[in-house]
Amino acid sequence: MDPLTPDEIARYKRHILLPEVGGAGQQKLKAARVLVIGAGGLGAPVLQYLAAAGIGTLGIADNDRVSLSNLQRQVIHDTGTIGELKTQSAADAIARLNPHVRTIRFEERFSIETAERLLAGFDLIVDGSDNFDTRYAAADAAELARLPLVTGAVGRFDGSLTTLKPYEASADGTLNPGYRDLFPTQPPEGLIPACSEAGIIGALTGVIGTLMAMEAIKVITGIGEPLIGRLLLYDGLAARFETIRYRRKRAKAAAE
């Protein structure tokens, strides 16, 4: 791994002071290549905190442009970037925040058709998309490529997130669960209203997106206990967190 420069040592001093991270952990962050799907409500805090943490390369996949209604929650963008591609607006903000971070822009939607090409060269995916087609495509592609995935979702006042490594075994020797063990099939179109229809409190995306960034940092540095086999739920109105454990079900179903 590349050594840290004097400027990087000064910038990441508070990380390096942590025994769990230290210089070696910061070098892992510098060497990491993370693809963030979506530069919207969840992607905004994910990109900001991963850039601030010193992730060496951040890929940004989004085909949308900044609109005025985005700014209530998509804090990586601002009034002056309305009309710009979100990938460009986010990349410019990251450059201002941390010039040590390299960004790669993909001005297209993540899908099953684009997955293999977009995932090439990355070692972790963070999915902050806002639709089920993309979430299932990201989960299926990450599992096939044997890449860890941090995925989250928000709606109105509630959010959730989990970390997936379904290609690895847990301590008891069974394979870790995947996204389809938690959510076997997509809900019918129109059953769950989008944020544009139901509304969303802006700060919620900051809560969940920041937790997603923390999960990514844990996976990269190897510290703590990522949310593998656990779904973290947040109720913003009640200020309550809950954790639901889930297991792999597909192997059992196949055996039956």
Q: What is the DSSP string of 164-194?
A: E-TTSB-TTSSBPP-HHHHS-SPPPTTSS--
pTM above 0.85, yes or no: yes
Location of structure tokens 């639901």: 244
Contact between residue 208 and residue 159 where contact means Cβ atoms under 8 Å apart: yes
Region 67-84: mean pLDDT is 97
For residue 186, what pLDDT is reported? Answer: 85
Sign of CA dihedral 30, 36, 41, 42: negative
| Residue 188 tokens, joined | 């019918």
Share of the chain above pLDDT 90, in %: 88
Give residue-wise pLDDT tens across range 28-60.
999 999 999 999 999 999 999 999 999 999 999
Contact between residue 168 and residue 175 where contact means Cβ atoms under 8 Å apart: yes
Region 72-84: mean pLDDT is 98
Would you put residue 115 in left (φ > 0), alpha (ψ -120 to 50) or beta? alpha
**Helix (H/G/I), strand (E/B), else coil: 21:** coil
For residue 189, what pLDDT is reported? Answer: 73
CA angle, residues 40, 44, 50, in degrees to nearest 5: 140
Q: 243 pLDDT exceeds 50?
A: yes
Count H helices, E strands: the chain? 11, 8
Share of the chain above pLDDT 70, in %: 96
Give residue-wise pLDDT tens across range 151-205.
999 999 999 999 999 999 988 889 999 999 999 988 877 667 777 678 899 999 9
Virtual CA dihedral for 111, 117, 1, 168, nearest 10 degrees? 60
For residue 191, what pLDDT is reported? Answer: 62
Average pLDDT, the chain: 94
**Helix (H/G/I), strand (E/B), else coil: 153:** strand
